[in-house]
C-alpha cells in the first residue's frame, strides 16, 4: 500500500523491507549509539545467519523447472545460442571492468581497513557450527544435519518404491518427503565439494538438477509446484525473509564502506554506475533488435538481470513483463556469478595500470556489482574477508539501483519497444 501511494508499484517489497531494516538499525545508531544498534543486530543475527546459510534452497525452486521453460521456447538456431553465450561472457566482463574502473578512480589512496572494520567483518562471518558428540568422534552440526536428511530421503524413496502396497493417503506425504529431502541433502552435500569445483558447478545447480530428478520420480502424486502447496512453493516462500535479512548484514559491514565518507562515495558511485551500465549494455547489445548480437526477447530480456542477485532478478523479470521468464533470468544470473567467481580477480590483476586490484574496496565492489552472491562466496573461499564484506554490501546497493532504474517512467516501455513488444497494460 505504501509503495503504491509513492507511485512505485513495481518496487519489490523484499527490497523495500531490506532497506527499511538497514535504515532502522542506522537510525538506532544515530539516535542512541552503535553499541545499542549492534545489540539489536545481534538479536536478529541467529535468524539472519540461518536464512543466509540456506538461501540457496529458497532460490532452487525456479531452477528446478528450468527445463520446462526451455522446452517452451521456440526452436532457435545455433547462432542464437552462440550469441546468448557471448553476451553472458562479454556482459560480465564489461560490467566487472566498468565497476572496477570507477572504483579505482575513486578509492581513497590510503584505503586500509582499520581495526574496527576488521573486527566487524570478522563478526559478520557466521560462527563455526556447534559440535555434536558422537561417541569419541565429534560430529559437526552441519554434518549431523546432512546425515539426518540423507536418512529421511532414504526412508522417503523406500516408501515411494513400496507405494503400491501402501494406502493412498500416504502417497503424497511420502512424495513430498522425497522431494524435500533431496533438495536439502543435495544442497548440503554439494557444499562439501572443493571451492574450485563449486565456482564452476555451483551447489545451487546440483540442488536444482537433483530436485528435478526427484520430482520426476515422484510424478503427479506430489507436484513440486502445486498452487502454493508443493515443496517448491513452500521453499520459495522463504526467499523474501532471506532477502530482508540482508539488511542486517549490510549494517554489520558499514565500517568497511559507509562510516568513512570517501569509502562511501566510492561504493555508492560505483554501484550506481554499475546498475545503470548493466541495464544499458544488455538493452543495446541484446534486446535491441538492430544489434549484431541481438537475440529474441525470451532470451534477451532475462539477460537484463544477469548482474543482480537472484531474488531481485526474479522480481525484476516480473516488472519487465510476461515475456521475461524468471527461471531463465535466474539461470543467466547463476552463470554470470560462476564466471565472476572464477575470473574476477584474475581480470583485475591482468591490467594493473587500470585497476587497483590491491585495494579490497576495488575487489569487493567490482565483484558485488558483477557477480553478486556467488562472486562474494568466491572471495570468502579465497580468504579475502574484507573484500567479501564489501562485495555483500555492494551487491545489495547495485541491485537497489538496478531496481530503481526499472521504476523510472518510460524505461520498461522503452526496453519493450526495442524488443518489438507492445507496452504493458
3-state helix/strand/coil string of 259-276 = CCHHHHHHHHHHHHHHHH
Q: For residue 243, what pLDDT band results from cuts at 50, 70 and 90? A: confident
| pLDDT, mean of residues 161-166 | 92
- The predicted model gives 43-65 an average pLDDT of 89
Output the pLDDT for position 110.
Answer: 61
Q: Which residue has the cell 538506532?
A: 28
More confident residue, 202 or 287: 287
Q: Which residues contact 88 (CB under 8 A, 6 or more apart)?
A: 303, 306, 332, 335, 336, 339
331 vs 372: CA distance, rounded Å: 14
Q: How many CB atoms sit inside 10 A of residue 288's CB?
A: 18
pLDDT over 90 for what percent of the chain? 67
pLDDT in tens, 19-45: 899 999 999 999 999 999 999 999 999
- For residue 10, the model assigns a pLDDT of 56
Say if residue 273's pLDDT is above 80. Answer: yes
The more confident residue out of 8 and 205 is 205
Give the angle subtended at the CA of 280 by the CAs of 3 and 390, to the nearest 5°.
Answer: 70
Q: Is the pLDDT of residue 199 over 80?
A: no
Most confident stretch, 57-71, 74-88, 235-249: 74-88
DSSP-assigned letter for residue 130: P
Chain-centroid distance of CA 134 in Å reads: 35
Q: How many CB atoms lie within 10 A of CB 157?
A: 18
DSSP class of 76: -
pLDDT band at residue 211 using 50, 70 and 90 as cut-offs: very high
Q: How crowded is the C-beta side of 342, counted as CA atoms within 13 Å?
A: 15
The CB density around residue 346, as the number of other CB atoms within 10 Å, is 9
- Which residue, 98, 95, 89, 97, is CA-closest to 335? 89
**Burial call 250-284: b when 16+ CB within 10 Å, e when fewer:** bbbbbbbbbebeebeebbbebbbbbbbbbbebbbe
Under the banding of pLDDT at 50, 70 and 90, the label for residue 79 is: very high
Confidence of residue 11 (pLDDT cuts 50, 70, 90): low
Model confidence at 198: pLDDT above 90: no
For residues 199 and 201, what is the distance between their CA atoms, to the nearest angstrom? 6
Q: At which residue does the C-alpha cell 537472484 appear?
A: 310
Cell of 389: 564484506
Instruction: Tell me what the mean pLDDT of segment 340-349 comes to.
Output: 92
pLDDT tens per residue, range 112-161: 444 344 444 444 444 444 454 555 568 888 899 999 999 999 999 999 99
Distance CA 404, CA 329 (A): 18
Q: For strand 137-140 and strand 131-134, is the pairing parallel, antiparallel, or unpaired?
A: antiparallel
d(CA 22, CA 42): 13
Residues sharing a CB contact under 8 Å with residue 138, sequence separation 6 or more, in sequence order: 131, 132
Measured between alpha carbons, how far is 405 from 408 in angstroms, rounded to an integer?
5
Question: 305 and 402 in contact (C-beta within 8 Å)?
Answer: yes
Determine the average pLDDT of the residues in 56-64: 86
Mean pLDDT of 191-212: 87
φ, ψ for residue 114, nearest 5 deg:
-85, 180
* Distance, C-alpha 230 to centroid of its chain: 23
Determine the average pLDDT of the residues in 6-22.
Answer: 75
d(CA 351, CA 82): 27
Q: What gap in Å lies between CA 374 and CA 231, rounded to an integer?
A: 24
Average per-residue pLDDT in the chain? 88
Q: Could you report the per-residue pLDDT of 104-113, keeping only the tens digit for each? A: 999 987 644 4
Q: What is the mean pLDDT of residues 403-416?
A: 93
Radius of gyration of the chain (CA): 22
Task: Return the closest-CA partner of residue 174 out of 184, 160, 186.
Answer: 160
SS3 content of the chain, % helix, strand, coil (to 5): 75, 0, 25
Query: What is the maximal distance between C-alpha atoms in the chain?
Result: 73
Amino acid at each position: 500500500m505504501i509503495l503504491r501511494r509513492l507511485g512505485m508499484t513495481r518496487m519489490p517489497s523484499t527490497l523495500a523491507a531490506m532497506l527499511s531494516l538497514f535504515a532502522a538499525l542506522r537510525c538506532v545508531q544515530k539516535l542512541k549509539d552503535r553499541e545499542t544498534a549492534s545489540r539489536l543486530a545481534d538479536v536478529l543475527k541467529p535468524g539472519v545467519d540461518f536464512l543466509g546459510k540456506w538461501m540457496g534452497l529458497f532460490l532452487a525452486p525456479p531452477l528446478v523447472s528450468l527445463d520446462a521453460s526451455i522446452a517452451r521456447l521456440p526452436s532457435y538456431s545455433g547462432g542464437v545460442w552462440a550469441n546468448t553465450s557471448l553476451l553472458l561472457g562479454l556482459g560480465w566482463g564489461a560490467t566487472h571492468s566498468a565497476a572496477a574502473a570507477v572504483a579505482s578512480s575513486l578509492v581513497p589512496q590510503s584505503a586500509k581497513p582499520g581495526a574496527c572494520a576488521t573486527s566487524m567483518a570478522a563478526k559478520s562471518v557466521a560462527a563455526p557450527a556447534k559440535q555434536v558428540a558422537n561417541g569419541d568422534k565429534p560430529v559437526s552440526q552441519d554434518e549431523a544435519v546432512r546425515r539426518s536428511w540423507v536418512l529421511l530421503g532414504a526412508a522417503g524413496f523406500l516408501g515411494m518404491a513400496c507405494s503400491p502396497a501402501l494406502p493412498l493417503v500416504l502417497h503424497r506425504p511420502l512424495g513430498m518427503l522425497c522431494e524435500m529431502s533431496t533438495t536439502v541433502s543435495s544442497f548440503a552435500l554439494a557444499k562439501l565439494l572443493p571451492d574450485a569445483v563449486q565456482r564452476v558447478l555451483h551447489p545451487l545447480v546440483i540442488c536444482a538438477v537433483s530436485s528435478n530428478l526427484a520430482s520426476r520420480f515422484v510424478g503427479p502424486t506430489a507436484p513440486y509446484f502445486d498452487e502454493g502447496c508443493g515443496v517448491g512453493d513452500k521453499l520459495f516462500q522463504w526467499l523474501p525473509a532471506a532477502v530482508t535479512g540482508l539488511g542486517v548484514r549490510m549494517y554489520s559491514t558499514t565500517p568497511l564502506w559507509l562510516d568513512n565518507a570517501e569509502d562511501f562515495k566510492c561504493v555508492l558511485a560505483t554501484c550506481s554506475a554499475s546498475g545503470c551500465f548493466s541495464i544499458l549494455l544488455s538493452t543495446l547489445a541484446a534486446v535491441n533488435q538492430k544489434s549484431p548480437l541481438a537475440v529474441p526477447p525470451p532470451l534477451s530480456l532475462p539477460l537484463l538481470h544477469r548482474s543482480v542477485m537472484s531474488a531481485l532478478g526474479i522480481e525484476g523479470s516480473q516488472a519487465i513483463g510476461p515475456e521475461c521468464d524468471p527461471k531463465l533470468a535466474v539461470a543467466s544470473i547463476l552463470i554470470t556469478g560462476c564466471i565472476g567467481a572464477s575470473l574476477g580477480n584474475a581480470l583485475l590483476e591482468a591490467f594493473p595500470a587500470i585497476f587497483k586490484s590491491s585495494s579490497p574496496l576495488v575487489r569487493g565492489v567490482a565483484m558485488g556489482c558483477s557477480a553478486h552472491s556467488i562472486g562474494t562466496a568466491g572471495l570468502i573461499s579465497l580468504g579475502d574477508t574484507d573484500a567479501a564484506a564489501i562485495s555483500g554490501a555492494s551487491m545489495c546497493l547495485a541491485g537497489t539501483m538496478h531496481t530503481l532504474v526499472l521504476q523510472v517512467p518510460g524505461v520498461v516501455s522503452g526496453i519493450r519497444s526495442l524488443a518489438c513488444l507492445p507496452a504493458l497494460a
